[in-house]
């Protein structure tokens, strides 16, 4: 493989972090991804391409192999380290932690892990943040190991037009003032990725900032501008439009979060999107409250006070009746029970009946007949 003289970039490469994150997540034993060190474009070796295209690409690697860096594979050990790190650092519930550790040791750990996480919304947000932070550190470490000068496009505060100018004039020495000033700025920004804080981010000290309503801005996406892409590699360019880290999934089976959510909704355990379900429940509660307020308005002026007084009166009467009933029950428990007459035995009963019979028998009085005078 002969060494080739490549054009030299006049500023650090502008790389898409979310696109790199996706490539790092999908790279495995069956899929190969490469990063071009001259312009920063990505290649995905799609084996479904024609044999002619694959042969042409192979010749390009043989002749200019020093231009491309193979992106490391997401091995079972790497994925396990991600999951265990999250459980040990971010999961505080003991039962949840034990369940997740059990899942990590089982078969298809990545898919079962994600399914469990998406079933628990309180853990999902923490997992997404953790996954982005760890992926960022992993990518920065790999780029630093290959001595690549770079900045992430998502970290730049430039306008869309200025970033596209930087890409277009990457190899030009003579540029306009705004491009020259932007080159100096991203040169300073590039040094921050090689600092110790880039690999060990520290929490900010001091008083926390005031809570300000977060304004959702539509992320700006610039056009991919490459001027030195070999013809043999153009069919293998990897350029998905990923605008958010949430679009990148940890799954090895699905290519996007949308596909993962669709599979979860089709499963027996997750029938609907949990986020939409929570939102619908809130809307339903708001409708219930508004209907109750409407009923109060229909009663008329002063109706609300009457309803409240009636409810209070009814409640007091109910409490008074219950209180009296409760007192009687208590007193009844202390009062002596009525004593019933002792039931006589059969012999005694017979004797009593015989006495009564004799007592009732009356001897008739015989009168003497008077003689006739």
**Triad 238, 240, 242: Cα angle to 5°:** 140
Tell me: pLDDT of 372 over 60. no
3-state helix, strand, coil in the chain (%, to 5): 55, 5, 40
**Poorest-confidence range of 10-19, 166-175, 186-195, 305-314?**
305-314
Across the range 290-294, mean pLDDT stands at 77
* Enclosing H/E stretch for 140: helix 121-145
**The pLDDT value given to residue 108:** 84
CA dihedral 61, 64, 69, 75 (to 10 degrees): 20
Tokens 């027996």 sit on residue: 268
Integer-rounded Cα radius of gyration of the chain = 44
Token couple for 134: 């760890």
Q: How far apart are CA 279 and CA 264, in angstroms?
A: 18
42-44/150-152 β-pairing: unpaired
Tell me: pLDDT of 354 over 90. no
- Cα dihedral sign for 25, 27, 30, 34? positive
**Poorest-confidence range of 98-102, 119-123, 348-352?**
348-352
Q: Give pLDDT tens digits for 207-261.
A: 555 555 544 455 677 889 999 999 999 999 999 888 777 677 776 666 666 666 7
Three-state SS for 317-370 is HHHHHHHHHHHHHHHHHHCCCCCCCCCCCHHHHHHHHHHHHHHHCCCCCCCCCC
Tell me: pLDDT of 130 over 80. yes
What share of the chain in percent tops pLDDT 90?
A: 43
Token couple for 59: 């010749």
Across the range 30-45, mean pLDDT stands at 95
Query: Whole-prediction pTM value?
Result: 0.66
- Give backbone dihedrals phi and psi of 340, rounded to 5 degrees, phi first: -85, 160
Q: What is the mean pLDDT of the chain?
A: 79
- Cα dihedral sign for 195, 141, 251, 257? positive
**The pLDDT value given to residue 107:** 86
**Per-residue confidence band for 38, with pLDDT thresholds at 50, 70 and 90:** very high
Q: How far apart are CA 243 and CA 366, in angstroms?
A: 134
- Determine if residue 206 is left, alpha or beta; phi over 0 gives left, psi from -120 to 50 gives alpha, anything else beta: left
What distances in angstroms separate CA 35 from CA 237, 332, 351, one per listed residue?
A: 10, 91, 121
Token couple for 307: 């309803």
The neighbour count for residue 228, using CB atoms within 10 Å, is 13
Query: Among 36, 38, 35, which residue's Cα sits nearest to residue 20?
Result: 35
Token couple for 23: 């490539």
Contacts of 23 (CB under 8 A, 6+ apart): 33, 35, 42, 44, 71, 238
**The pLDDT value given to residue 337:** 53
What distances in angstroms separate CA 228 from CA 55, 171, 272, 324, one per listed residue?
A: 20, 10, 47, 95
Q: How far apart are CA 257 and CA 291, in angstroms?
A: 38
**The pLDDT value given to residue 331:** 47
**The pLDDT value given to residue 269:** 46
* Enclosing H/E stretch for 181: helix 177-192
Cβ-defined contacts of 253-261 (< 8 Å, 24+): 253/111, 255/26, 260/114, 260/118, 261/118
**The pLDDT value given to residue 243:** 75
Q: Give pLDDT tens digits for 238-250.
A: 998 887 776 777 7
What distances in angstroms separate CA 296 from CA 183, 282, 310, one per listed residue?
A: 66, 22, 14
């Amino acid at each position: 493989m002969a060494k080739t003289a490549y054009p030299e970039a006049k500023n650090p490469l502008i790389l898409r972090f979310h696109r790199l994150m996706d490539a790092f997540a999908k790279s495995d034993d069956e899929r190969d991804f490469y990063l071009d060190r001259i312009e920063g474009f990505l290649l995905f070796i799609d084996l479904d391409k024609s044999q002619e295209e694959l042969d042409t690409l192979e010749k390009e690697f043989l002749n200019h192999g020093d231009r491309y860096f193979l992106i490391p594979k997401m091995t079972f050990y790497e994925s396990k380290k991600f999951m265990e790190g999250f459980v040990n650092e971010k999961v505080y519930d003991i039962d949840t932690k034990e369940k997740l550790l059990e899942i990590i040791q089982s078969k298809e750990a990545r898919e079962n892990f994600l399914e469990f996480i998406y079933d628990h919304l309180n853990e999902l947000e923490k997992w997404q943040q953790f996954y982005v932070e760890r992926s960022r550190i992993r990518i920065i470490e790999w780029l630093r190991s290959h001595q690549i000068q770079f900045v992430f496009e998502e970290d730049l505060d430039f306008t869309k037009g200025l970033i596209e100018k930087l890409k277009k004039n990457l190899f030009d020495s003579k540029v306009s003032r705004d491009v020259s000033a932007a080159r100096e700025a991203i040169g300073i920004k590039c040094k921050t990725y090689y600092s110790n804080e880039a690999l060990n981010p520290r929490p900010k000290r001091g008083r926390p900032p005031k809570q300000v309503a977060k304004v959702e801005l539509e992320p700006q996406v610039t056009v991919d501008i490459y001027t030195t892409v070999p013809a043999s590699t153009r069919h293998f360019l990897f350029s998905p439009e990923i605008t958010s880290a949430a679009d990148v999934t940890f799954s090895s089976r699905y290519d996007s979060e949308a596909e993962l959510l669709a599979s979860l909704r089709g499963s027996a355990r997750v029938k609907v999107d949990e986020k939409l379900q929570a939102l619908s429940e809130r809307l339903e509660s708001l409708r219930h409250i508004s209907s109750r307020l409407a009923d109060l308005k229909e009663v008329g002026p002063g109706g609300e006070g009457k309803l409240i007084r009636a409810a209070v009166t009814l409640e007091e009467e109910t409490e008074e009746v219950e209180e009296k009933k409760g007192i009687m029950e208590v007193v009844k428990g202390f009062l002596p029970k009525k004593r019933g007459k002792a039931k006589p035995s059969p012999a005694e009963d017979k004797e009593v009946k015989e006495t009564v019979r004799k007592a009732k028998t009356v001897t008739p009085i015989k009168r003497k007949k008077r003689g006739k005078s």
